[in-house]
Amino acid sequence: MLKERLYVIKIGGNIIDDEQRLGAFLASYASLNGKKILIHGGGKLATQLATTLQIPQQMVDGRRITDAETLRVVTMVYAGYINKNIVASLQQLGSNAIGLCGADANLIRAQKRVHETIDFGFVGDVQQVNDAFLQTLLQQNISVVIAPITHNGEGQLLNTNADTIAQEIATAMACYYQVSLIYSFEKTGVLLDVNDESSVIPQLTPSLYQQYRKEEKIFAGMIPKLDNAFRAIASGVHNVTIGKAEELGKLVSGQTGTTLTHD
């Protein structure tokens, strides 16, 4: 029996900070037929607020070191302001949505990251997704909007990478649906030349990806996203597409961006 399609879409990058571009993306998302889950990043607002509050910020390999004060800021910004604004915009567009973070209904349980040399602070690595709860919401045709804040089951909130959350949710829901995972941001896809938007690689398989990595043809900043994406493919997700947020309709139909599939 053919499984119903589910779209798990991650929106991030500079789109979150641009009201007009985010609005265009959300209009496309609202018009997308079928069951869907949206995971959003935090944009630059958390950094701006932390600077205003004079809370020093430290990044290592693009990941935010999250001390106790920074955790307060990212929780307020991600699970509060950004999440609820997205939900309000979707309601305006006629798409019934609910905004959640990982602590709600025990949606995403995580553990504090342990690293040999770096103390990331209150950063979480996903352990478990409450797929049954998500399935209950989706069966009621509610679009779920998820902020990248998780919890450890012992009362501690954790800041968690949104790309990873998207991959973990897509994987968890693959037992119910034919899942299409879409990473949408400001770039047109995975580029052979990071400065040339027309150098999109239309299709990537695991073996081709490893070849491009060996040849150092893929921008280093894209590698964590691609590692997550191929982990999803290996775990039962039907396909993954990476591309420009404003072209969501074309991304869904595979007309643009980079599509990742099995070898």
Name every residue whose Cβ is closer than 8 Å to that of residue 113 and which is 6 or more positions away in sequence. Answer: 120, 123, 124, 125
What confidence tier does 62 reach under pLDDT thresholds 50, 70, 90?
low
For residue 231, what is the enclosing H or E element? helix 223-234
Arithmetic mean of pLDDT, 209-214: 92
Residue of 153 and 57 predicted with greater confidence: 153
**Nearest CA among 204, 144, 202, 142 for reference residue 170:** 144
Q: What distance in Å separates the CA atoms of residue 202 and residue 256, rounded to the nearest whole number?
A: 7
| 109, 153 Cβ separation under 8 angstroms | yes
Q: How confident is the model at residue 163 (pLDDT cuts 50, 70, 90)?
A: very high
Average pLDDT value over all residues in the chain: 93
Distance CA 237, CA 173 (A): 8
Considering only CA atoms, which of 208, 219, 254, 255 is closest in space to residue 5? 254
Q: How confident is the model at residue 222 (pLDDT cuts 50, 70, 90)?
A: confident
Which one, of 63, 53, 9, lies nearest residue 179 by Cα? 9
- The reported pLDDT for the residue numbered 173 is 98
pTM metric for this prediction: 0.95
Residue type at 242?
I
Q: Which domain range does residue 57 map to?
A: 5-260
- Distance of alpha carbon 76 from alpha carbon 80, whole angstroms: 5
Question: What mean pLDDT do residues 236-251 have?
Answer: 94
Q: Give pLDDT tens digits for 119-149.
A: 999 999 999 999 999 999 999 999 999 999 9
The domain that contains 79 carries what CATH number? 3.40.1160.10
In the chain, how many domains are there?
1
Please name the residue that has the structure tokens 């009621």.
140
Question: Could you read off the pLDDT of 51-61 as tens digits, one per residue?
Answer: 999 999 888 87
Give 197's pLDDT tier (boundaries 50, 70, 90).
Answer: confident
Angstrom distance (rounded) from CA 16 to CA 20: 10
- Is it the case that residue 169 has pLDDT exceeding 80? yes
